């Protein structure tokens, strides 16, 4: 469903050398804060196992990666799949108790890092070991798959002599932040099901939440995301693309590739495929395509510029 391929060696798919010797703080400013407002340090202790970094402070991450493996999460506020993946990354990192540090990069605010990592689509997750990048995966993946990839990444780090751990400062981001409000019962049921990989149960829980409250925007957005994960589970990208190429007007075949593209972060490709299909279908066959587009718009987010462009083209095709 996505590109999940931890590198076998530390051959850098990207060149991070230009980031090594940057000053720790931007001129006239302060260092990039971590999730709790402090900054990472290349030592046996860090303020938090989850840190926010910038173009200016990423050199500290490279130094830290000589002690402990670092996972870089490239994300953006408008990215719907990022909002699905990032909490799972944070949970898995904290479960590992200091064996991995998670560095979060907002690609909109840090274009030099986005360029250095060649982030053509997000979410994009890259490991860094001893200052060298290791491609991990792109797109939203289930939490269990995150665990499996991180386990392979730790093995690779050990093969390259990076086996340290770090401790997060007491009362750091893990314990000092505001207490999150308790989830409504059906949302909690869905969240537990997602963590267990039981997407059918999660879909049912969100559908019941919407039946109780049709204005529950969080349930509606989450339902679209979980339905997407449910649909792509077990799909093979090569097989799906071959089937779509062989049957260009087969709705199920085209939907499968569009779903895989969304899950893999190739949002424009997915929308273009469905809009091209919509354009050639007779009016009485268009409804399922329009409904799938609207659902995927909700997964990505109405404010996303790619959704805005796709909505504009859909409107022009409708009228």
Which one of 79, 93, 258, 260 is the catalytic residue? 79
In the prediction, which pLDDT does 14 show? 45
- Of the segments 228-232, 240-244, 303-307, which one has the largest average pLDDT value? 240-244
Is a pLDDT exceeding 80 seen at residue 115?
A: yes
Give the model's pLDDT for residue 150: 93
Most confident of 78-92, 112-126, 234-248: 234-248
The token pair at 46 is 């860090």
CB 250 within 8 A of CB 318: no
The pLDDT of residue 19 is above 70 = no
Closest CA to 19 of 133, 106, 108, 122: 133
The pLDDT of residue 316: 94
| Mean pLDDT for the chain overall | 81
pLDDT digits over 247-263, tens only?
999 999 999 999 988 88
Q: What was the pLDDT predicted at 270?
A: 94
- Looking at 82, 166, 240, 299, which residue is catalytic? 82
Residue 28: per-residue pLDDT: 35
Other CB atoms within 10 Å distance of the CB of residue 6: 18
SS (H, E, C) the chain: CCCECCCCCCCCCCCCHHHCCCCCCCCCCCCCCCCCCCCCCCCCEECCCEEECCCCCHHHHHHHCCCCCEEEEEECCCCHHHHHHHHHHHHHHHHCCCCCEEEEEECCCCHHHHHHCCCCCCCEEEEEECCEEEEEEECCCCHHHHHHHHHHHHHHHHHCCCCCCCEECCCCHHHHCCCCCCCCHHHHHHHHHHHCCCHHHHHHHHHHHHHHCCCCHHHHHHHHHHHHHHHHCCCCHHHHHHHHHHCCCCHHHHHHHHHHHHHCCCHHHHHHHHHHHHHHCCHHHCHHHHHHHHHHHHHHCCCCHHHHHHHHHHHHHHC
What residues pair up with 126 in beta bridges, in sequence order?
Answer: 72, 135
**Per-residue pLDDT at 69:** 93
**pLDDT tens, position by position, 31-63:** 334 444 434 444 467 788 999 999 888 888 888
Q: What is the mean pLDDT of residues 229-237?
A: 86
Nearest Cα neighbor of 48 from 95, 94, 84, 107 is 94
Known catalytic residue: 212? Answer: no
- pTM, whole model, 2 decimals? 0.54
Given a cut of 90, whether residue 103 has pLDDT beyond it is yes
Tokens standing for residue 94: 């904290």
* Tens digit of each residue's pLDDT (9 = 90 or more) over 152-187: 999 998 888 888 888 876 434 444 444 445 778 998
- Annotation marks residue 232 as catalytic: no
For the cut 60, the answer to whether the pLDDT of residue 318 exceeds it is: yes
For residue 44, the model assigns a pLDDT of 64
11 pLDDT higher than 70:
no
**Per-residue pLDDT reduced to its tens digit, 267-293:** 899 999 999 999 999 999 999 999 999
Q: Spell out the domains of the chain, with CATH numbers in brackets.
A: 17-175 (3.40.30.10), 185-318 (1.25.40)
């Amino acid at each position: 469903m996505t590109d999940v391929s931890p590198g076998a060696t530390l051959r850098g798919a990207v060149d991070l050398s230009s980031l090594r010797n940057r000053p720790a703080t931007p001129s006239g400013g302060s260092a990039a804060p971590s999730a709790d407002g402090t900054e990472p340090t290349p030592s046996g202790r860090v303020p938090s196992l989850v840190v926010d970094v910038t173009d200016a402070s990423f050199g500290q991450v490279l130094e830290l990666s000589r002690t402990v493996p670092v996972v870089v999460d490239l994300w953006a506020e408008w990215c719907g799949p990022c909002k699905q993946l990032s909490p799972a990354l944070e949970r898995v990192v904290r479960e590992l108790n200091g064996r991995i540090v998670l560095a979060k990069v907002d690609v909109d605010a840090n274009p030099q890092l986005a360029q250095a990592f060649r982030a053509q689509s997000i979410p994009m997750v890259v490991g860094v070991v001893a200052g060298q990048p290791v491609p991990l995966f792109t797109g939203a993946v289930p939490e269990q798959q995150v665990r499996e990839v991180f386990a392979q990444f730790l093995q690779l780090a050990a093969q390259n002599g990076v086996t340290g751990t770090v401790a997060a400062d007491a009362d750091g981001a893990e314990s000092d932040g505001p207490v999150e409000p308790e989830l409504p019962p059906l949302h909690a049921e869905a969240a537990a099901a997602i963590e267990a990989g039981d997407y059918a149960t999660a879909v049912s829980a969100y559908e019941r939440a919407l039946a109780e409250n049709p204005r529950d925007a969080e349930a509606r957005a989450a339902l679209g995301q979980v339905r997407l994960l449910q649909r792509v589970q077990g799909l093979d990208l090569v097989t799906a693309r071959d089937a779509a190429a062989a049957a260009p007007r087969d709705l199920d075949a085209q939907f499968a590739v569009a779903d895989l593209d969304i899950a893999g972060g190739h949002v424009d490709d997915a929308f273009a495929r469905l809009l091209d299909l919509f354009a050639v279908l007779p009016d009485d066959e268009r409804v399922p395509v329009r409904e799938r587009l609207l659902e995927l718009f909700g997964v990505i987010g109405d404010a996303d510029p790619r959704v805005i462009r796709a909505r504009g083209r859909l409107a022009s095709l409708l009228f």
